[in-house]
């Protein structure tokens, strides 16, 4: 998505914002759905709408950070996840997500610290293995170890 498309989406979002207020939980659900459907501009607009009235809303910050990650804006993602962590230092998903952006920025020490924190916090009840395997570097390492074990007959 280019800048022009983002600006158009933001303008659409501002027009929608002038309509009747919507429940924040509904907005978070809408932003999450837009992100999952790869409608990144729509997700960004909805998150910014939430954050305009609740700047420390952890779920909105997390989804917005994911949008920035998906569009390759990792520095902005790190700032967004850091704001979410400042609001709730015990949110394992935010620690995991910031670690992924630090990894993309080749800041391995910061990435490792946040991966460790995410694991220690239990990744919000999600299976640790499932979430960690979403990371391409970790998945490649596990695959290499598995292949080595199979080659040795174990």
What is the band of 3 on the pLDDT scale with cuts at 50, 70, 90?
A: confident
In a domain, 58, yes or no: yes
pLDDT value at position 5? 76
In a domain, 8, yes or no: yes
What is the band of 152 on the pLDDT scale with cuts at 50, 70, 90?
A: confident
Most confident of 3-12, 35-44, 134-143: 35-44
DSSP strands (E only) in the chain: none
Give the mean pLDDT of 75-103: 95
Tally of CA atoms within 13 A in the half-sphere of 62 that contains its CB? 18
Does residue 17 have a pLDDT over 70?
Answer: no
DSSP letter for 62, please.
H
- Closest to 7 in 3D by CA, of 37, 41, 55, 56: 41
- Count of Cβ atoms closer than 10 Å to residue 67 Cβ: 27
In a domain, 142, yes or no: no
pLDDT value at position 20? 47
In a domain, 45, yes or no: yes
Would you give the end-to-end CA distance of the chain in angstroms?
46
Give the mean pLDDT of 70-92: 96
Give the mean pLDDT of 104-130: 82
pLDDT value at position 103? 94
CATH number of the domain that residue 15 is part of: 1.25.40.10
In a domain, 130, yes or no: no
Structural domains counted in the chain: 1
pLDDT value at position 29? 92
The parent domain of residue 93 ranges over 3-124
């Amino acid at each position: 998505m280019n800048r022009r498309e983002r600006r158009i989406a933001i303008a659409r979002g501002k027009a929608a914002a002038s309509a009747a207020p919507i429940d924040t939980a509904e907005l978070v659900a809408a932003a999450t759905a837009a992100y999952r459907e790869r409608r990144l501009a729509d997700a960004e607009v909805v998150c910014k709408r939430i954050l305009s009235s609740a700047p420390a809303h952890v779920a909105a910050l997390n989804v917005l950070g994911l949008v920035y990650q998906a569009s390759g804006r990792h520095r902005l993602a790190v700032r967004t996840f850091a704001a979410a962590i400042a609001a709730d230092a015990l949110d394992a998903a935010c620690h995991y997500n910031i670690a992924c952006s630090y990894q993309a920025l080749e800041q391995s020490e910061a990435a490792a610290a946040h991966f460790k924190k995410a694991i220690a916090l239990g990744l919000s009840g999600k299976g640790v293995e499932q979430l960690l395997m979403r990371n391409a570097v970790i998945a490649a390492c596990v695959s290499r170890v598995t292949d080595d074990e199979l080659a040795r007959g174990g």
